[in-house]
Amino acid sequence: MPVGGEEDFEQLLAEQEAAAAAEGHVLHGRVLEITPTGAIVDVGGKQEGFVPIEQVSAPDGTVTVHVGDEIEVIVDRRQHIEGYLALSHERASRIRAWDTLEKAYRERLPVLGRVLSRVKGGLSVDVGVIAFMPSTQVDVRHTHALDALVGQDIPVKVIKLNRRRNNVVVSRKAAVEEEIGSRKAALLEHLQEGDLVTGAVKNLTEYGAFIELGGIDGLLHVSDMSYGRVNHPSEILQVGQEITVKVLKFDREKERISLGLKQIAPDPWETVTERYLPGMRVVGRVVSVTDYGAFVELEDGVEGLIHISEMTWSRRMKHPSKVVKPGDQVECVVLDVKPSDRRISLGIKQLEPDPWTTVDQRYAVGSVVEGRVRKLADFGAFIEIEEGIDGLVHVSDLSWTKRVQHPSEVLKKGQIVQAVILNIDSANRRLSLGVKQLQPDAWETFFSSHMVGDLVKGVPTRTASFGVFVELLPGVEGLCHNSEIPPKLRGPNAPLTIGQEYTFKVIKLNEAEHRIGLALADESAIGEKQRIEDYQRKAAEATHKFVEESGQSAGPDEAPPAPPHEDNHHNGAKETDS
């Protein structure tokens, strides 16, 4: 054998022995050339290796390696390729994957896997080898949306491994929990009140939204979402939305975080006095109606209240809903602005003139007005004589004669009545009315037609220890003191019989205090009075007859004949006066 031939044979034999020694071990090779059937790889020997093209191609046929790339391979004795050392990139990757999985399993490290498909009970995941992920290990919360993960690269942790049986079980839930824990620890360590943080809306409730900040959730209360009115968080946010919020409160021990969204923007109440001045007319939208008024949104975050008393000059309105309803656009007047209390007082009635400013020009004391009884109180009745103008009839001004205990004894709510204006106080918005003043005063009538010494008839109505009260006219009473009742005329049980008519003599008149003093008249005084009345009646008849017969009227200086027994009459009057 030629010397050169022996050397070549020895070198070939050495390479074969080296290849046999490398079989079963992963080698590092460099891609020298890509051919239609495979990749030629230099593994450091005299003989180049060959990797089938399907082992370095993606599912769509695209070659995944390039000339110069370093790849892992293993000698494959099951294959024979003329002139090349048969290599397997696939087997090398599988061996390396198992080594990686074993290390990850021992050290509890996460690995990256691609979800291949949904299978019974979970998902099939490629982590270098085909692994199984149960549905209970997909997420920290149980989910049925497994198909959404197909085709995605996800971090997982190996929770079960058996290389001999080619069995691997992985968990995305464990990887996510570990990531959440690490992010939570980092967040709790550095988070401060006042920080701006970014998170995703996790879920919505009636009272707010929970924001996932990375390992820990914060609460964004509905009142901190906007300076304006928010009825439900869904009006502003939706699940999954990423937002930037401000840390309002942070309890590190309890791991509670309160967040604010509106605090990122300027507070409109800080400059509200620059935009709204008392007396200014503004237009807003009614956002809510309550028993005591209506809230009007003037701008985002700024609302004013129209109190029920500021809606109309009239007091007839029972509820604000009679004037406005939610959604109405209303014009109103700014009455007061209190930025520190975040309050603006508004009024609608101020758009029209105040009827009280001209009430004393349109009405006069003593004039008669007509109105509707609007309200009854213990002390009197309120009568509306025009819209916005109510007058009070005090209970003492309802009747001259009746002792009225409550206005309902005389008036009914809603009744149309007339009254006399007694007093006008426009400054204090007060109008005093009287109903009894529509009729003559019975006391005034009595005082104008009687004098001390007159004989009157009356009926005792009640007794007292000092005397008897006597009704002379409806609503007019006099007092007959015990000393003014002669003993011979007194009854056996009471000075006078209640309900029986007697004749009294007027002995005292006090018009200012409505007081009438009486004395029980004796028979002589009564007889004298009767004789005078008879004489006056006969004299009047005689005069009338004389005029008819003569056809002439009596002259102004002529007087009727003097009554008979004038001296006796005079003496009787004296006795009565005494």
Distance CA 430, CA 423 (A): 8
User: 320-365: per-residue pLDDT in tens?
Assistant: 988 899 999 999 999 999 998 999 999 998 888 888 888 888 899 9
Return the pLDDT at 548. Answer: 67
| Res 170 pLDDT > 90 | yes
Assigned token pair, 384: 């509306």
Is residue 79 within 8 A of residue 90, CB to CB? The reply is no
Return the pLDDT at 1. Answer: 44
Name 224's bridge partners.
none
| pLDDT classification of 558: cutoffs 50, 70, 90 | very low
Mean pLDDT of 222-237: 88
User: 484-541: per-residue pLDDT in tens?
Assistant: 888 877 766 778 888 899 999 999 999 888 899 999 987 665 666 666 666 676 777 7
Name 480's bridge partners.
468, 518
User: Which of 413, 392, 401, 423 shows the shortest CA–CA distance to 477?
Assistant: 401
Return the pLDDT at 421. Answer: 92
Length of the chain (residues)? 578
Return the pLDDT at 547. Answer: 65
Name the 3-class secondary structure at 375. Answer: strand
Dihedrals phi, psi of 514, to nearest 5 degrees: 50, 55
Mean pLDDT of 260-283: 91
Name the 3-class secondary structure at 5. Answer: helix
Distance CA 272, CA 316 (A): 34
- Is the Cα dihedral 141, 145, 147, 153 positive or negative? negative
- Is the Cα dihedral 71, 77, 81, 85 positive or negative? positive
Dihedrals phi, psi of 250, to nearest 5 degrees: -140, 115
Is residue 177 within 8 A of residue 185, CB to CB? The reply is no
Mean pLDDT of 423-436: 90
| Res 290 pLDDT > 50 | yes
Is residue 294 within 8 A of residue 310, CB to CB? The reply is no
% the chain with pLDDT above 90: 34
Distance CA 228, CA 212 (A): 24
Over the range 372-385, which residues count as b (16 or more CB within 10 Å of their CB) and which as e? Answer: ebbebeeebbbbbb
Assigned token pair, 342: 């975040």
Which structural domains are found in the chain, ordered by start?
A: 3-94 (2.40.50.140), 108-177 (2.40.50.140), 191-264 (2.40.50.140), 274-351 (2.40.50.140), 355-438 (2.40.50.140), 442-521 (2.40.50.140), 527-577 (no CATH)
Mean pLDDT of 546-556: 56
Q: Which residue has the tokens 């051919």?
A: 35
Distance CA 539, CA 545 (A): 10
Least confident interval from 17-21, 136-140, 471-475: 17-21
Is residue 477 within 8 A of residue 462, CB to CB? The reply is no
Mean pLDDT of 562-569: 42
Return the pLDDT at 553. Answer: 46
- Is the Cα dihedral 29, 30, 35, 36 positive or negative? positive
| pLDDT classification of 21: cutoffs 50, 70, 90 | very low
Mean pLDDT of 86-97: 83
Instruction: Please give the model's pTM, rounded to 2 decimal places.
Output: 0.46
% the chain with pLDDT above 70: 86
User: Which of 131, 46, 34 shows the shortest CA–CA distance to 89?
Assistant: 34
Return the pLDDT at 478. Answer: 94
The pLDDT mean for the chain works out to 83
- Averaging pLDDT over each range in 58-62, 139-143, 311-315, 369-373, which range is the top one? 369-373
